Each structure stands twice: as structure tokens, then as C-alpha cells.
Chain A
């Protein structure tokens, strides 16, 4: 039983459409799947039905914290100086908008990247042992946990157009 849980099948496809077809069948049976591709594969992501990435909340949080930081920095420095410059009041909010906007974008971008690294588990300590270097070039990979139906799933993957199906750890 535990051997079945640790065992996965890795199918290598030459065509994205074949992979998407096989993925649809396997996901229909609630099998756990992971896709490897050399480019973003919209159809596979649609079949996998992933929810929108929570990165957008981090972006918003970073952006708003940048806005607050920008205005706070401007107000703090203006109050420390405390003199009227160019006829503007000490707390001249309109020119502060420029600095607040730039800091909003900066912190929004930094938090977006932090979110991508965190959620995408980057940088990884090492590549998965089953990783095939062709996945960054011109091949598509489908990693499936077949459970007790390994033979049947392997046959289905071959029928779907996989050029290679092998047992891997993972």
C-alpha cells in the first residue's frame, strides 16, 4: 500500500494537446497530477482548475504599505525641517503624492516577487529526482500518482500519445 503511495508515473509528451487530453481524463478520476512544460500551458492550467494565485493580495498589501510609507516619510521629513518652502505649507500633500506613488509601486513589485518565490517554492534546494531536462526545451511532462491502477493508467497515457512512460519516485 505504502509502495503505491510513493510510486508515480512520469509520462513525456511531444504535443501539448496530447498532454491536456490525458490530463483531462486523469483529473476526471481525481488522480493527483503535476504538469511540467517549457512554457506556460494555459489549457493544462484550466484543466487543473487552479484558483487565482493569492499573490495579488500580497501585491495589494505591498502597494498600500508603500503608499502609507511614502506619505509618512514625506510628512516626517517635512515636519523635521519645519520651514515653508516655495510658498507651500509644511505638510504639502499634493507633491507628496509623487513620492508615495513611486514607493507604492516599488513595494508592490517587491511583495509580488516575494509572493512568487514563496508560493512557487523558489529557489528550490534541488530539482526533483524525476525531472527531465527536456521539460525546459520541447517536451511536456505529466507526473501522476496512479494508486493501485498503475498498469491501467500507464496504458492510458501511452494511448494518449505519451512517447515515454516510466516509474519514478515522487
Chain B
């Protein structure tokens, strides 16, 4: 880690990224804005024309919008894994990357939260889906997995955002003390006039620990709940007890991949190689390797259960996955998620940032197709053969919205990287001072 740096050098290196933007930054922002406009335009076209412009039909009620929703919720998982679970395990390598991973979590949940709105035909009536008591005294059915999902994801967004902000308060004070004018005043307001007194650190430390303790079961529960949207339905390929751990492992897998996709360029552009070291990337790669093995095992177990269970429809669904209409997507998923990351067994791959970036991209693609294969592949090969192979999408409108969602995610991350410290200054300094104390006689 960054033992050779001093506290002042950590400040200088991290806060250098907050300097006025160069041409490269504006180019990246422009590309993202163009992508967002494309997505917004496609959505506007869908609203004006009707939901028929996307591949929605009777078995595939959400088209790829549900694929995108589950994909982005999954991406959100690693942030809390890195910031909360690894914090409880005292894994020091998380320190330098936790802030960016938490930001990724918050932005991914925000993007995911758009898709329930996008899939609505008349979005201006969105408040009809909000569970509130109406004049007919009908209340939402809180036994429904959809309500579980609503409660779980809104809780996750709230908790992730608060956890992110709590950890950032001391760093906002650093920005306040260095800032001038309006920017300094805004940071001062956000820092809540934090002074760094021992009383504040004492209570902050306890609060952070307790938040990590609460966020850890939450992160496990959220994707379990998302998986129950499917597992509680009587559809072959969905109705399985393996779904909760399978989805959680997949979510962490995709989140770690996105961490690599974001951090490898970030550390290079911001010159943070001394803080986000190659050793840290290697630890991420090893964790990715672990989740790859779990995900690969889950794929195998799904097939085993279908065969061992002896249920013809279930077996038919899985045979169709491997050999049927969606087999290209299935094999792409298998290759990207369960085979490509195995290259991380090689030390030279783990130590090569470009190779890790490529693995991250491959897993991100693979995880999107995993959601596609599960969410679209299963209802289009259900009990009734009339549903088979019915999905004709995604249409160009769906591709446009998908591009828009990625653009919005990267746009938010670019804003974060320009206005907030992308490395937790206080935590890295804490590691430095504690290392120095351990070394001193």
C-alpha cells in the first residue's frame, strides 16, 4: 500500500484530480452526454409511439428493461462488499478503493431505479405504482416479491448513499480547508463543520462500524430479494432454491468487474498508482477469481438440479438454453463469466492493469447476458409451447436506452471524480499513521 507516502502527499495526489478539467475529461463528458441524449431520445420515442416499439410481449413482460434493472442492481453490489464486508474483515487493501466502489454502488442503484419508470407506457402516471393508501382503502400486498423488491432496493439506495456520505465527511472538511469562494463554502456546508476532534472521531468510528455491520446483511438480502422476484414464480428456470446465493455471487462478480473497469483508467489518468497500487488490483483480481468459481459452480448446479430433479419442463428449459434459440447468449455468458476470469490464475495477468481491464469488460458483458438468458430465456421456454421463442427483441429503442444507461452511469462517475475525492483521504492517512506507529520503537 502507500506506506512510502506522507499525509500531505496523499492529499496532493488525490486532490490533483479535482483541478480544472482538461480536454480529455471534457471529451469523455461529451461522449457521455451524447449517450444520455440518445437514451433519452429513444425513451421519448417510446413514450410518443407506444410500448410496441420494444420487444414486450406476453411471456416477456418487461423486455430487456428488467434485464437492465437486475444488471445494474447487481453492479451496485460490490461497492458495499468492498466498503462494508471487507471493512469488518479488516482487509486493508480496501481502503484505497472503497470510496470509488461506494460511488459506483450509489450511481448503479440510481440507474437501476430508472428502469421501472422506463418500462411504463405512461410514465407520468408513475405514482400509481407507489404503495400508498388510496380512496378505496386498498393497500399494497406486502406478501408480494415485487413489494419486497421495492422495499429492499429503496432501503439499499438510502443506506448506501448514507454510508458513502458518512465516510466522506472528514474528507469534505479537507476540501473545505483547502477551498476558496463558493466551492469552499459548499464543501464547508457538506462537511457539517467537522473539526476532527477526538470526540467526533470516536463517535464517527462507532457509527461507521455499526453502519458496516448493518449494511453487510443488507447487501446479501437485497440481491436475494431480487432473485425471489423470479424464484417465487412457477416458471422452469426460475423456480429454484439456488437463486438467492446464485444471484448474490453473480452480483458481486459483476460489481468487481465494474470496479476494475472504472479503477484501472482512473488510477492511470489521475496518477494514483502510488495509492491504488498494483497489489490492490491483484487482490481485486483474486476476489474476482473466487466469485468466478462460485458463479461457474452455480451454472453447473443449475443443470445438475434440472437433470436430477427429473422434471421434463425444467430439463427442457436448460437444454434449450444450451442448444436452442438463446444458445449464443448462453455460451457468451458462460465464456465471459466462468472461463475468461480463469486467466487470473496467472500471476502476470493479475499484475497487468490492461489485462485486468479486459477481464472486467468481458465479465460486465457476460453478466448482462446472464441476466438476459435467465430473465428472457426462461419465460420463453415455459410449460406452454406457445411461448417458445417468442421474444423478438431487443429492438433499436432498447439498445438506445441501454447505451443511455451506461452513459448516465459513467457521467455520474465522471462528475464524482471531478468534484469529490475518489480515494478516502482519512482512511488512507489512518493506514499510514497506524503503519508508522507499528514501525516506531
A contact set with B: CB distance below 8 Å: 15-17, 20, 34-45, 48, 50, 52-53, 55-56, 59, 63, 73-74, 76-78, 80-81, 85-86, 88, 92, 95-96, 98-99, 101-103, 105-106, 108-110, 112-113, 115-117, 119-128, 131, 133-138
Contact = CB atoms under 8 A, between A and B. Distances in A.
Q: What secondary structure prevails in chain B residues at the interface with A?
A: helix
A112 B211 contact: yes
Given A105-B159, A123-B193, A131-B195, 8 more contacts: A37-B196, A98-B148, A102-B155, A103-B155, A106-B159, A120-B200, A120-B203, A136-B194
Contacts of B170: 38-39, 136
B278 to A, nearest CB: 24
Contact of B207 (A42, A92, A116, A137): A116
Given A113-B162, A125-B193, A52 B206 contact: yes
B347 interface: no
B174 A41 contact: no
B197 A35 contact: yes
Given A16-B433, A106-B158, A116-B166, A133 B198 contact: no
A112 B214 contact: yes
B50 interface: no
B143 interface: yes
A59 B217 CA distance: 15
A116 B165 CA distance: 13
Nearest to B207: A116
Given A16-B436, A122-B194, A136-B177, A99 B139 contact: no
20 contacts: A15-B436, A17-B440, A40-B426, A50-B198, A55-B203, A55-B207, A92-B143, A102-B151, A102-B218, A105-B159, A105-B215, A106-B155, A109-B158, A110-B162, A112-B211, A124-B195, A125-B193, A131-B195, A133-B177, A136-B176
Interface of B: 6-8, 11, 137-143, 147-148, 151-152, 155, 158-159, 162-163, 166, 169-170, 173-174, 176-178, 192-207, 210-211, 214-215, 217-218, 221, 225, 425-427, 429-430, 432-434, 436-437, 440
A37 B201 contact: yes
A122 B148 contact: no
Given A136-B196, A138-B8, A99 B148 contact: yes
Contacts of B425: 38
Contact of B7 (A76, A109, A125, A138): A138
A37 B137 contact: no
A105 B204 contact: no
Nearest to A50: B202
B7 A120 contact: no
A137 B7 contact: yes
